[in-house]
Amino acid sequence: MAAAVDDELYREIILDHYRHPRHRGLVDPADATVHGHNPLCGDEVDVSLRIRLGHIEAIGFEGQGCSISLASASMMASLVAGEPVAQARTVLHQLKQMLVEGTAAEDLDALGDLEALQGVRRYASRVKCAVLPWNALESGLAEAGGIHEERAS
């Protein structure tokens, strides 16, 4: 059954990111460092990032929590590092469409490995785990964007 094979593959991708996190460690200097907390599960994630010329020049995270929250943070950092801020916002939007609005992953073209998180939407409490680092990214982009707008004016 294709669905079972997909589930197994997705579980492996999530566990791989959990066991071998990418972009672990905070960025220095950072334009924004945002703390995310999911009291339902006890997840704590800090996301820091640096923006240069409209791109995410560097992004990193630290934290402790369940495999879903930390794998999601690792996948997020891998996917948006070096990318234009606009692309990061697109990924962020699509991730929320998939997990919160229930849009099918195959209709979303910017997700890459994040498709592995689609099974999470069956469990409302785990959606908060998966979205936690993304909410921190969203706040971080807003904060860093504000800094750059101030400098420009």
CB-based contacts of 51: which residues, under 8 Å, 6+ apart? 31, 57, 85, 141, 144, 145, 148
Q: Are 130 and 69 in contact (CB under 8 A)?
A: yes
Which residue, 43 or 46, has its beta carbon nearer to Zn ion?
Answer: 43
* DSSP H or E stretch at residue 33: strand 32-38
- Decide if residue 46 touches Zn ion (CB under 5 A): no
Near Zn ion by CB under 5 A: residue from 41, 44, 96, 143: 41
**Site size for Zn ion (CB under 5 A):** 5
Near Zn ion by CB under 5 A: residue from 58, 85, 129, 141: 129
Side-by-side strand order, sheet with 55-64:
32-38, 43-52, 55-64
* Site stretch for Zn ion (CB under 5 A), options 38-46, 48-56, 71-79, 115-123: 38-46
Chain positions 90 to 119 lying near Zn ion, rule: CB under 5 A, are none
Cis amide bond preceding 133, omega within 30: no
- Decide if residue 66 touches Zn ion (CB under 5 A): yes
- Decide if residue 72 touches Zn ion (CB under 5 A): no
Residues that bind Zn ion (CB under 5 A): 41, 43, 66, 69, 129
